[in-house]
């Protein structure tokens, strides 16, 4: 396929995704979700092929081939120079088409991964012959009808909801699946756009990364002389001290250690961060649209007056008398009209000064939007990510992408502080008007840090806890929330939570204080 063929094919394909709108009906039954899954998985394959073809053709850096153009001018007549300029302009235009298209394909790929990860959590397959359960991500879907075979040989598989899933498939309709993230951003209201920015900032938190390597300056005794050496070690060698003694003998002295860290974000991909932020902001906007009237009615003293005022403002702002007047005069006419209508409606005096009560209500309303509505999507995503961390094993997070692709398997001390942004006010609002199934956790960051510490201790111990009960146990131990609530949040039995707590308490601590100190040093405390 030639270049313009590739461009046309990609554009057509993205349009076809845009036109097949995902609705709530696609999420209602396990069967519908399976169909959606098969459709999205097919899309993802095609998108990845397109991306590969584009990158092979240099769509990633399309401006490179042009950059030489302007300097490459031979002393010729003016007409030719004009031609060359026009030519360069044409190529620049084509280059930006390529770059934008690849950009959309990348965004679409990230969105598809998020959607697939959510569905893989939300439904599973159950074999009717051997009653084995299979994850969608683990089976091969050979043909579009989605016929799958169980390892036992039976093809009698039923798709079921996973009642203990940690995911939010409701975000799928709000993902920029066709790479239309710019369009989706423009559809958000002001507060939702602020939420979007906040989420993107939070997920990007990259202040400290894991240790990639360390440079050491050491002194060693060689042939009776102290020699200074500079060496570099991988992060694989966790116990630097022991390693140095092994290599250079007991007399080695460390003069300087410099750690090199890799900067890595909580969600380590720009497109995934954008898609997640958009999906959570979009879903929240839908939720707020449904509860907004009730919220205003309860929090404002006279919501009817506020509504009347807003109608008047809209009326005045769009008022166009049938006169040929200047822009300034028109503004004046509109302002006068607004003052008159406000006065007539009893909302203020003839000079447009609003009643104090109305003024206060308007301020409250702004605050609700600016702070509380904005934090609704922030809360939802922080909660979901935190629960994903709590309810999955380190092994699973390392090997499998899940509903949060490009999520770091473990966070450091600085990154967990992101979860302190969990807002109590926004949570109260949600709890009051919408069945969100959330509780306030004051020290969510500490809870996560504790989970990571326990996981670190468990490395190599061959423990196989129930990940959900384990998460509930950590939450119970660290957050001071009663065991019943914790069990409920993770859909497990209280007995299992108690059981996991016991095994956590029995975990061995680092053998010596020195070892502990060293471990902390490496971790970058």
The nearer residue to Zn ion, 68 or 153, going by C-beta atoms, is 153
- C-beta of 137: minimal distance to Zn ion in Å? 17
The nearer residue to Zn ion, 142 or 201, going by C-beta atoms, is 142
d(CA 176, CA 480): 39
- C-beta of 470: minimal distance to Zn ion in Å? 28
- C-beta of 158: minimal distance to Zn ion in Å? 11
User: Are the beta carbons of 137 and 35 closer than 8 angstroms?
Assistant: no
Reading the block at residue 134, the tokens are 């299979």
d(CA 51, CA 179): 12
The nearer residue to Zn ion, 150 or 275, going by C-beta atoms, is 150
Instruction: Let me know if 9 is exposed, middle or buried by CB neighbors in 10 A (0-12, 13-18, 19+).
Output: middle
How many beta carbons lie within 10 A of that of residue 373, not counting itself?
25
176-212 per-residue burial string, b: 16 or more CB within 10 A, e: under 16: bbbbbbeebbeebeebbbbbbebbbebbebbebbbbe
The nearer residue to Zn ion, 46 or 149, going by C-beta atoms, is 149
The nearer residue to Zn ion, 114 or 150, going by C-beta atoms, is 150
The nearer residue to Zn ion, 96 or 156, going by C-beta atoms, is 156
Tell the residue number behind the tokens 């002001």, with chain if given. Answer: 190
Q: How far is CA 39 from CA 45, 52, 123, 160, 184, in A?
A: 10, 20, 15, 18, 21
d(CA 53, CA 59): 9
Q: What angle do CA 448, 286, 280 make, to 5 degrees?
A: 30
- C-beta of 373: minimal distance to Zn ion in Å? 48
The nearer residue to Zn ion, 117 or 146, going by C-beta atoms, is 146
- For the residues of 189-224, what is the DSSP string, one character each? -HHHHHHHHHHHHHHH--SS--EEEEEEEEEEEETT
- C-beta of 134: minimal distance to Zn ion in Å? 8
User: Are the beta carbons of 441 and 475 closer than 8 angstroms?
Assistant: yes
The nearer residue to Zn ion, 131 or 351, going by C-beta atoms, is 131
Please report, as ranges, the residues that interact with Zn ion according to CB under 5 A: 127, 129-130, 132, 150, 152, 154
124 in helix, strand or coil? strand
- C-beta of 34: minimal distance to Zn ion in Å? 17
- C-beta of 44: minimal distance to Zn ion in Å? 27
- C-beta of 152: minimal distance to Zn ion in Å? 3
Q: How far is CA 406 from CA 215, 269, 331, 343, in A?
A: 28, 6, 51, 57
């Amino acid at each position: 396929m030639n270049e313009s063929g590739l461009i046309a094919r990609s554009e057509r394909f993205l349009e076809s995704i845009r036109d097949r709108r995902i609705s709530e009906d696609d999420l209602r039954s396990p069967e519908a979700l399976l169909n959606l899954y098969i459709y999205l998985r097919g899309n993802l394959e095609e998108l990845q092929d397109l991306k590969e073809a584009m990158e092979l053709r240099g769509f990633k850096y399309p401006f490179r081939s042009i950059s030489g153009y302007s300097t490459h001018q031979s002393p010729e007549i003016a007409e030719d120079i004009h031609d060359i300029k026009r030519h360069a302009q044409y190529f620049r235009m084509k280059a930006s088409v390529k770059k934008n298209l690849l950009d959309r394909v990348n965004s679409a790929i990230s969105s598809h991964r998020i959607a697939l990860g959510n569905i893989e959590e939300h439904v599973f397959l159950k074999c009717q012959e051997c009653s084995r359960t299979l994850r969608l991500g683990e089976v091969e879907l050979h043909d579009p009808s989605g016929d799958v075979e169980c390892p036992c040989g039976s093809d009698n598989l039923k798709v079921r909801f996973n009642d203990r899933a940690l995911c939010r498939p409701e975000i799928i309709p709000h993902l920029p699946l066709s790479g239309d993230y710019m369009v989706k951003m423009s559809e958000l209201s002001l507060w939702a756009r602020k939420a979007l920015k906040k989420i993107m900032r939070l997920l990007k938190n990259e202040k400290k990364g894991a240790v990639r390597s360390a440079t050491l300056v050491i002194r060693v005794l060689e042939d009776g002389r102290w020699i200074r050496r500079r060496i570099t070690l991988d992060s694989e060698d966790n116990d630097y001290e022991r390693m140095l003694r092994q290599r250079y003998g007991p007399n080695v002295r460390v003069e300087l250690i410099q750690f090199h860290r890799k900067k890595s974000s909580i969600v380590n991909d720009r497109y995934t961060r954008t898609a997640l932020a958009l999906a959570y902001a979009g879903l929240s906007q839908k939720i707020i649209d449904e509860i907004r009237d009730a919220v205003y009615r309860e929090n404002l003293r006279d919501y009817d007056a506020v509504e009347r005022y807003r109608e008047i403002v809209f009326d005045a702002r769009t008022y166009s008398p049938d006169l040929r007047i200047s822009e300034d005069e028109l503004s004046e006419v509109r302002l006068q009209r607004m003052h008159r209508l406000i006065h007539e409606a009893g909302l203020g005096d003839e000079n447009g000064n609003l009643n104090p009560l109305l003024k206060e209500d308007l301020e409250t309303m702004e605050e609700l939007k600016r702070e509380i509505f904005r934090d609704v999507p922030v809360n939802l995503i922080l909660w979901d990510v935190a629960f994903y961390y709590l309810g999955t094993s380190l092994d699973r997070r390392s090997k499998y992408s899940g509903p949060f692709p490009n999520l770091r398997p473990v966070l450091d001390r600085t990154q967990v502080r992101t979860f302190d942004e969990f807002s109590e006010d926004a949570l109260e609002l949600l709890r009051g008007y919408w069945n969100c199934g959330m509780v306030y956790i004051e020290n969510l960051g500490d809870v996560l840090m504790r989970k990571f510490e326990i996981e670190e201790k468990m490395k190599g111990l061959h423990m196989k806890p129930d990940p959900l009960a384990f998460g509930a146990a950590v939450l119970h131990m660290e957050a001071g929330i009663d065991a019943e609530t914790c069990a409920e949040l993770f859909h497990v039995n209280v007995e299992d939570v108690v059981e996991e707590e016991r095994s956590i308490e029995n975990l061995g601590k680092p053998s010596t204080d020195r070892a502990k100190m060293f471990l902390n040093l490496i971790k970058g405390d």
